[in-house]
Chains A and B, each alone.
Chain A
Amino acid sequence: MSTPQTIYESLHHQGFSRRDFLKFCGISATIMGLSPSMIPRIAKALENTPKKSVIWLSFQECTGCTESLIRAHAPTIEGLIFDHISLDYHHTLQAASGRAAEQARENAMKEHHGDYLLVVDGSIPMGNPGYSTSAGISSLDMLKEVASGAGAIIAIGTCAAYGGLPHAAPNPTGAVSVEELITNKPLINIPGCPPIPAVIAGVISYIVTFGQLPKRDSLKRPITFFGQNIHDRCYRRSFYDQGLFANSFDDEGAKKGWCLYKLGCKGPVTYNACATTKWNENVSFPIEAGHGCLGCSEPHFWDAGHFYQALSVPTREIVGTAGYALAAGAAVGVASAMLNKKKKVDATKNHETVTIHDLERTSS
C-alpha cells in the first residue's frame, strides 16, 4: 500500500455512489452516537481521511471480543469498520501467518509510525513472560514495542481495559491492563466481556473520522456509550421502585418479569449501553433474557461479590468475623467486670470506719 487511499476513494473504488457514501456517513453518525446534523462534517472528514492503519494485538484473552465484533449481524458494522481502516495485523483475522504476519506488522509500524491505531484485547502477564507470547515475543515486549509508535490505543474488552478474568483473585499470572503499562499515549477503554460490537465500531469510526478520541469518563470509557447506568435505563426499573422482585429464576415474579435485584443484578453499579443498544441485532440484553447484569464492563467484576448475591451483601464473610469479635469483646468484658469487682472489694477492705471521736478530733 504505497499511496494511502482516502475512505471516500476506497468506497468509490468498490462501486459506491455519492448517495451511497452519504448514506454510509449517516450510518457512521448513528453508530458514533452523533446527531444527523453531523453528517456533512463526517462526509467532509471521510473524503479527506486516509484509511487508518490498525494493528490489533491479542494477549491473555479468549477471542470473545473479536468474535463479538465479527459476528455482529448488522452487515453495516463490520463492513463499516473494514471500510474505515486497513487492518494490518490481527491474529485471528489475518490470512498471513508466521514470519509473513510479523513482517506485515513491522511494515505497518514503519510506514505509519506515530499515526497507526493500536487495538489491544487481553491482559498482559507481569509474572513469567512465557505465560503469553506470540512469534517468540512476550506480550509485554510486544505491547511496548507497538505502543511506542502508535498514535492512539484502544483497549478492547475488560481484560485489556482493567485486567478482566485473568486479573481475578488470586491473579496467578500477575495480569495487568494496558493502561497500567502505557501511560504516555492517548488511550480509550471499551470494556465489556465482550464489548458491544456497535460500540467498538462507533469508537473506531469516531477516531478515524475526527482524528481524535471521543470524550471519556474517569475510567477512560467513551461517555456516549458508557455515560448511563444500566439500572437507570432498565425496563424492569418500575418493578424495583415498587419493591416487586423475583426471588428465584423460575418463580411467579421471574415469569412476570419483575426486578432481578435479589438475584444479584449488578445493573445499579454498571455503566454500559446494553439496556439501550442491546445485543444480537437489538433483540435483547441479559436482563431482558431473565438474568441479572453481571457488571462485566466494570473493573474487578469477577471479584465484586457473588454473581447471585444482592448488591447490598458485603463481599467478605462477616458472620465469622462477628463471632470472633463477640468472643473477644466478651473476654474483655469479663476482664473489666473482674477489675470492677476487685476495685469494690479493695474499697470495702480499705474503708476506714469513722467514729464520733474521729469527728470530734477533726473539728476541734
Chain B
Amino acid sequence: MNYVDFLLWVRGPAFQIATAIFIFGLSWRLLEILSLSRKPELAVVRERGIAGGFRTIFRRFLPVDDNTFQRSAFIITAGYIFHLGFFIILLLFVPHILFFREFFGFSWPGLPTPVIGIITIMTLLALIALLINRMRHPVLRFLSGFEDYFVWIVTFLPVLTGYMAFHHFFHYPLMLALHILSVELLMIVFPFTKLMHTFTWFISRWYTGSRAAQKGVQV
C-alpha cells in the first residue's frame, strides 16, 4: 500500500466505518441514558424545574466562588483553553467547514489559517500541561486509570497531526492521511468512553439543576 492508497482508504471506506460506529454508538448510548427511569418525586414540588435546569447548565460554566477557582485555577484555565481551542479548530478551520457543509448542507465563515495555527499551539500546550499535572498531582494520579490516558491520546493526536499536516511537516499526503486516521480513531472510541461527556454534560447538569429547583418550599 503506497501513501495514495492509504490516503484514499482513510478518506473513503475507513471514514465510512468510523462514521457508522460513531453515530451508532451515540444514538444507542444517548437513548439508553435518556430512557433510564427516574424516581417519581413524591413531595409537592417547589417549581417545575425546567428553568432551574437551564440556570445550572450556564451557571456552572463559571466557578461558584473565588475559593473554588483559586484552588483549581490551573485546571480550570487550561481546561478552558483546551476545550475552546478544540472546538474553534474543529468548527472554524475552512477545510473542516467544507466537510460539515457536505454533511449538513450548510456552512459558515471560517477563521484565517494563521489564527487557527496559534489556537492549535495553545490547545496542544494546554493538553500537555493537563497531562503533566495529572501525572504529577498525587490525588489525580491515584484516580487516573488506563481510560483517562487513552482518551487523552486520542484527543491529542488529531490536533497534533492536523497541525503537522497543515505545516507540511514530513510528507503532506501521508500526514493528512494520519490526521484523518487519528480522527477516525477518536470517532470510534468516542461513544464508549468518557468522551461521551461532550453530549452528556448538559443533560446531567440540567438534571441536577432541575432537581434542586424542585426541592424545598416556595417562599
Task: Give CA–CA (A55, B138) in the complex, Å.
Answer: 74
Partner of B28, one of A299, A319, A336: A336
> Does A269 make an interface contact (CB < 8 A)?
yes
CA distance A322 to B21 in the complex (A): 9
Contacting residue for B111 out of A243, A311, A328, A332, CB 8 A: A243
Bound-state CA distance A232–B29 (Å) is: 44
Contacts known (A242-B113, A312-B99, A324-B20); A337 close to B35, Cβ less than 8 A: yes
Name the A residues within 8 Å of B25 (CB-CB).
Answer: 329
Closest chain A residue, CB of each to CB of B3: A218
Query: Looking at the complex, which of A72-80, A93-101, A301-309, A356-364 is the stretch in contact with chain B?
Result: A301-309
Check if B32 is an interface residue, CB within 8 A of chain A: yes
7 additional A-B pairs beyond A299-B2, A312-B98, beta carbons within 8 Å, are: A241-B113, A310-B95, A313-B102, A319-B103, A326-B23, A329-B28, A340-B32
Which 4 A-B residue pairings sit nearest by Cβ, starting from the closest?
A333-B31, A329-B27, A337-B35, A312-B95
B112:A300 contact, CB within 8 angstroms: no
CB of A322 within 8 A of CB of B23, answer yes
Within 1-25 of B, Cβ neighbours of A (below 8 Å) are at 2-5, 7-8, 11-13, 15-16, 19-25
Expressed in whole angstroms, the Cα–Cα distance for A232 and B165 within the complex equals: 12
A-B contact pairs, 6 of them (CB 8 A): A242-B114, A269-B176, A312-B96, A314-B102, A333-B31, A341-B37
Check B24–A316 contact: CB distance below 8 A: no
Interface contact A325-B24, CB-CB below 8 Å: yes
Whether the Cβ atoms of A304 and B95 lie closer than 8 Å is: no
B173 interface residue per 8 A CB criterion: yes
**A334, CB-defined interface residue at 8 Å:** yes
Residues in chain B near residue A310, CB distance under 8 A: 95, 98-99
In the complex, which residues of chain A have a beta carbon less than 8 angstroms from the beta carbon of B15? 314-316, 318
Residues of B near A104 (CB, < 8 A) are none
Question: Which of A232, A262, A300, A329 meets B26, CB within 8 Å?
Answer: A329
Mask: chain B, 89-102; 1 = CB below 8 Å from A; 0 = not: 00000111011001
Query: Majority SS of interface residues in chain A?
Result: helix
Instruction: Tell me the nearest residue of chain B to A229, going by C-beta.
Output: B172
| A305 near B11: Cβ-Cβ < 8 Å | yes
Residues on B with C-beta less than 8 A from A313 are 98-99, 102
Chain A residue at minimum C-beta to C-beta distance from B112: A243
A300 touches B4 (CB 8 A): yes
Interface string of A273-302 (1 = CB under 8 A from B): 000000000000000000000000011100
How many residues of chain B have a CB within 8 Å of chain A?
A: 44
Chain B residues touching A, majority SS: helix
| A245 and B3 within 8 A (CB) | no
Please state if A316 and B95 are interface contacts (CB–CB under 8 Å): no
Q: How large is the interface on A (under 10, 10 to 19, 20 to 34, 35 or more residues)?
A: 35 or more
Q: Tell me, rounded to whole Å, the shortest Cβ–Cβ distance linking B106 to chain A.
A: 13
Q: Which chain B residues border A303 with CB–CB below 8 Å?
A: 8
A319 CA to B23 CA in the complex, in Å? 11
Residue of B nearest to A309 (CB): B102
Residues on the B chain within 8 Å of A262, using CB: 94, 98
Interface centre among A312, A316, A332 (most CB of B within 10 A): A312
* Interface 1/0 per residue, B117-146 and A, CB below 8 Å: 000000000000000000000000000000
- Considering only CB atoms, which chain B residue lies closest to A317 in the complex? B16
Rounded to whole Å, the gap between the CB of A188 and the closest CB of chain B is: 16
Q: Which residues of B sit under 8 angstroms from A207, Cβ to Cβ?
A: none
Encode A335-357 as 1/0 by CB contact (under 8 A) with B: 01100110010000000000000
Residue in chain A with minimal CB distance to B13: A316
Is B168 part of the contact surface with A, judged by Cβ < 8 Å?
A: yes
Contact partners of A305 in chain B: CB under 8 A: 11
Interface centre among B29, B36, B98, B113, by most A CB within 10 Å? B98
Residues of B within 8 A of A24 (CB): none
**CB proximity to A under 8 Å, residues B156-181:** 168, 172-173, 176
Smallest CB–CB gap between A275 and chain B, Å? 14
Question: Given that A314-B16, A325-B24, A337-B35 are contacting pairs, would A300 and B98 also be in contact in the complex, using a CB cutoff of 8 Å?
Answer: no
Bound Cα distance from A234 to B126, whole angstroms: 34
From the candidates A218, A300, A324, A330, name the one contacting B8 in the complex (CB within 8 A): A300
In the complex the two chains form, is A316's CB within 8 Å of B8's CB? no
Let me know if B153 is at the binding interface, CB within 8 A: no
- With both beta carbons as reference points, the residue of chain B lying nearest to A332 in the complex is identified as B28
Taking a contact as CB atoms under 8 Å apart, the answer to whether A229 and B168 are in contact is: yes
Q: B96 — which chain A residues lie within 8 A by C-beta?
A: 312
Instruction: Mark each residue of chain A from 94 to 118: 1 if its CB lies under 8 Å from any CB of chain B, else 0.
Output: 0000000000000000000000000
Q: Across the interface, which residues of B come within 8 angstroms of A304, CB to CB?
A: 4, 7-8, 11
Residue in A219, A268, A314, A337 whose Cβ sees the most chain B Cβ within 10 Å: A314
